[in-house]
Chain A
Amino acid sequence: MKLNLQSSDFELFGLPERFEQDRDAIDARWKELQREAHPDRFAAQGAAAQRVAMQWSVRINEAYQRLKEPIKRAAYLCELRGAPISAENNTAMPAQFLVEQMEWREALDDAKGQKDLDALEDQLGRARKQAVQRIARLLDEESDAAAAAQQVRALMFIERFGRDVEARLEQLGQ
C-alpha cells in the first residue's frame, strides 16, 4: 500500500485499526518513521525538500500523539467509525456517573492532606482502568462506536478531575 499524507494514523503506522495496541510498538514505529522523514535528514538539501519533509514529519507526530494516548486513540476510532465525540455539544451523561462525579468533587473539597488525596487518586485510577476496559470491549469486540463514544466522554470527565487532584497535590508539595 502506498502511503500519503491522507492515510489514516493506523495505516501510516502499519497497525491494525483497533483500540488495543502495544505502546512499545507505537513508540518504535514512530521513531522508525521519523528516521525516514524528519527534516534534519535533509538539512543540506534545500527549501523545497525541507518543506516536504516537514509536512511528513508533522503528520507523523500528529498520528503519534493520537495513537499513543488511549483516550485520543479511542476518540479517533469513534470518529473513523462515524460516532464523533463532539464533547462540547454532547454533555448528557448517565445519572449514576454524574452522582459519582459529585461525590468525587466533594471528596476533593474535603480532602485534608496527602493521605486523602492519595486515596482519591487510587479511586480515580480504578475508574480510569474500568472505562478503558469498557472502551476496548465496545470498540474491538462489540463494534459499538456510539456506546464507546459515551465512555470516551466519561473518561474525559475523569481525566479533567484527575488534573484538579494533581493541582491540589502540587499545592501541598510546595
Chain B
Amino acid sequence: MALLQISEPGHSPDPHQRRIAVGIDLGTTHSLVAAVRNGVAECLPDGDGRVILPSVVRYLENGGRQIGYAAQAAQAEDPENAIASVKRFMGRGLADIVNREKMPYRFLDKPGMVALQTCAGEKSPVEISAEILVTLRYRAEDTFSADLYGAVITVPAYFDEAQRQATKDAAQLAGINVLRLINEPTAAAIAYGLDNASEGIYAVYDLGGGTFDISILRLTKGVFEVIATGGDSALGGDDYDRALADWMLAKAGMQATGASAKASIKMAARVVKEKLSASDIVTTPIELAGARAAISVRRGDFEAITVDLTARTMSAVRKALRDARLSRDEVKGVVLVGGSTRMPQIQRAVAEFFGREPLTNLNPDEVVAIGAAIQANQLAGNNAAGDLLLLDVIPLSLGIETMGGLVERIVPRNETIPTAKAQDFTTYQDGQTALALHVVQGERDLVQDCRSLARFELRGIPPMVAGAARIRVTFTVDADGLLSVSAKEQTSGVEARIDVKPSYGLSDEQIARMLQESFTTAEQDMKARALAEAQVDAQRMLLATQTALDADGGLLGADERAHIESLMQQLRQIAAASHDAGAIEAATQALAKGTESFAAERMNHSIQMALSGKNVETI
C-alpha cells in the first residue's frame, strides 16, 4: 500500500479492521509473544496455559520437529539435535562462538554464519529461530482467529548489524511482517509505563539466559531516547549454570564426558541455581556414568564462584554511564529484566551500585514481550491517540576500511537513528577505475578487530590521476538500525549501492528455498489463503486511494488523476472477477506504483505543514 491514510482525529477510515499486531521476545533461553487485548498488554498462553516457550528446537529422524518444552526435555537424551540458545549463533561465524567446545552441537564452519549438523540435515541459526517464531505466530493467530498483521521483535541493544539482519531474516522465513526491531531494554521501559509518569534518566539492567545488556534511557514527555548502550552478548544465566556445574563436578570429584552427561549436569545446576534464589542451601543428587554423589550448595558458595560474572556486568554498567557522561546518582530508577535478575546477588549488586532499590514488580521474564506488544499496537495504527515515540541510537560504530587496514569511522556509536552520513574518499593510483569498499562495524581502529559486514565495488570510474576522483560514500541507517551504503563518484556520477546483509545474512534465493522446504501447509489451504489476502489488500488499497483523492486530489494534474482512476477501475474489475491471487496482486501493485509519487507528494506536504505549523507556534 503506497498511500497515506489521513483521517479526522479519532475517526479510523475502517473502524472494523483492527490489525492484529504482537510483540515477540525472541530470547536466548525462552521466547514469548504478547498482544494488546481490550487495552491491556498481556502474554499469550499456549493450549496448556503456559506463556513461556523454551527456545529449544529438536529435529527428529522422521523429518518432524519439536519446539519448546518437549524439545527442552529431550536435551539430555538427544543433545546434538535439541538445539538450545540458538540466539547465540545468530549472525556469528564459527570463530565468534565462545565456549563452543563445551557445547554438544556439531558446528559447521560456513562462510558468514555458522551452521549446525542435525539428523534432519544442515540447519542455519536463522532457520532454527524461524521455527520458534512460526510457533509463536501460530499461537497468536489461533488466539485471535485471524491473520497476523505484523510484529515488533526485540533484540539485545548490543546486537550488531549482522545479528539484527539475521533476526529479520528469521522473521521473514516465519512469514512475519516485521514492523520494527526494538531493543529489549527499551521494550522493558515501555512495559513499566515509564513513558507516562516519569521524566529523567533510567537504567535498564537486563541479564537474560545468554546476553547481558545495560541501557541508559532518557525519558521526556513520551519520548524514549536511548543515550547509551553496552553489555556483553556472551554473558548470561547460562554462564552461571556452567560455572556452577563445573564447581559441582569438581566437588563430587567427577567428570562429565559426552554431550548428554554435560547437558544433564548443566540442567541439574540450573535447578540448584533457581532454588538458591529462595533457599540458603540446596542439596542435589548427581549421577554420572554409574557413579552417584549428593552435593550441597550454599548460596554463599554459588555467589563466590560467580562473583566474577556479576562483576563483569557491573563494569559494563560503569562503561555505559561513562559513555552517557552521567554519574550514577543522576539515574532516577533502575529496571531489572531477565529471569537471571531473580538471583539475590544481582539485585544486591545493582542496589548497592546505584544506591536505590531496582524496580522488580513486573515479571522479569515477561516485561520485554509486553513492551514490544504496546509498541506493535501503536505501529499497526490501532492506538491513534498513542503518544509514544522511540528515538533509538546505533549500538556500534560503522565505518569503512582505508589504506593500511585502518578503519575510518563514518557513523559513530550512539548516534540517533535514522541517520545518513557521507564521507569523501579518493583513488590512490593513477588511472584507477574501480574502488573496493569494505564496510565494518566496531569500535577498534584496525579492520581485523572489527566485524566485517559487506564488501562491494564501485566500477567505471573514469581514469584520473591519483587523488583527483571524489568518491562520496553515504551510509544510511534506518529506524531498525539496518544499514545501506552507496558510493558515487562526484565528477562522473558513477554509482554503486548495497543493502548490507551479504556476508552474514542470507541471500534472497536461500530464503526462498527455505520457505519452500519448511512450513508447507496443504497446497489448497495456501491458495485459498493467498486469494483472501490479495482481496483484502486490493480493497485496502482502493479505499486508501479514494480517501487520498478526496482529501488532496487538488495536488494532482488532470492527466495524473485520470491515470490513477483508470488503475483503480482495473483493480476493481480484476478483484471482483478473478480467482487468481497473482493477477489481483499485480493490479494492486500497479495501482501502488501509479500512486507512489502522489503519496510521496502528500506526505511531504503534510510533514511540511506540520513542521512549519510548529514553527509558527513556537516563534
Contact = CB atoms under 8 A, between A and B. Distances in A.
Nearest to B390: A40
B618 A62 contact: no
19 contacts: A3-B611, A3-B612, A3-B615, A31-B223, A34-B391, A36-B614, A38-B389, A39-B418, A42-B4, A43-B379, A49-B599, A51-B600, A52-B604, A53-B603, A54-B478, A58-B420, A61-B416, A61-B418, A61-B419
A14 interface: yes
Contacts of B220: 27, 31
B65 interface: no
A24 to B, nearest CB: 10
A43 B179 contact: yes
A137 B462 CA distance: 47
B552 interface: no
A3 B610 CA distance: 10
B1 A56 contact: no
Interface of A: 1-4, 12, 14, 27, 29, 31-49, 51-54, 56-58, 61-62, 64-65, 170
A33 B5 CA distance: 20
B181 to A, nearest CB: 12
A171 to B, nearest CB: 13
B470 interface: no
B100 interface: no
Given A47-B2, A53-B607, 20 more contacts: A2-B608, A14-B615, A14-B618, A27-B220, A32-B614, A34-B391, A37-B607, A38-B389, A39-B418, A44-B5, A44-B19, A46-B1, A46-B2, A52-B604, A54-B479, A56-B607, A56-B611, A58-B418, A61-B415, A65-B416
B607 A36 contact: yes
B419 A62 contact: yes
Interface in B579-619: 592, 595-597, 599-600, 603-604, 607-608, 610-612, 614-615, 618-619
Contact of A57 (B418, B614, B615): B418
By Cβ-Cβ distance, the 6 closest A-B pairs, closest first, are A44-B381, A48-B599, A43-B379, A36-B610, A52-B603, A46-B1
B356 interface: no
B592 A52 contact: no
A29 B618 contact: yes
A47 B603 CA distance: 11
B416 A44 contact: no
A31 B220 CA distance: 9
Interface of B: 1-5, 19, 179-180, 220-221, 223, 322, 379-381, 389-391, 415-420, 476, 478-479, 544, 592, 595-597, 599-600, 603-604, 607-608, 610-612, 614-615, 618-619
Contact of A40 (B180, B415, B614): B180
Contacts of B322: 170
A46 B615 CA distance: 27
Nearest to B412: A65
- Dominant SS at the B interface? mixed
Q: In terms of DSSP, what is the predominant structure of the interface of chain A? A: helix
Contacts of A53: 603, 607
A31 B195 CA distance: 14
B615 A58 contact: no
Contacts of A35: 223, 389
B340 to A, nearest CB: 25
A131 B416 CA distance: 28
Given A4-B608, A29-B618, A40-B379, A49 B603 contact: yes
B612 A1 contact: yes
Nearest to B479: A39
Contacts of B478: 39, 54
A40 B479 contact: yes
B116 to A, nearest CB: 34
Contacts of A64: 416
B223 A36 contact: no
Contact of A43 (B380, B415, B544, B595): B380
Nearest to A12: B611
Nearest to A25: B618
Question: In the complex, which of the residues A40, A45, A47, A64 has the most CB atoms of chain B within 10 Å of its own CB atom?
Answer: A40
A64 B127 CA distance: 40
B437 to A, nearest CB: 21
Nearest to A57: B418
Nearest to B415: A65
A9 to B, nearest CB: 13
A40 B3 CA distance: 15
A38 B322 CA distance: 28
Nearest to A14: B615
A49 B389 contact: no
Given A29-B618, A57-B418, A40 B389 contact: yes
Most buried by B among A34, A36, A39, A65: A36
Contacts of B476: 58
A34 B322 CA distance: 27
Contacts of B4: 42, 45-46, 49
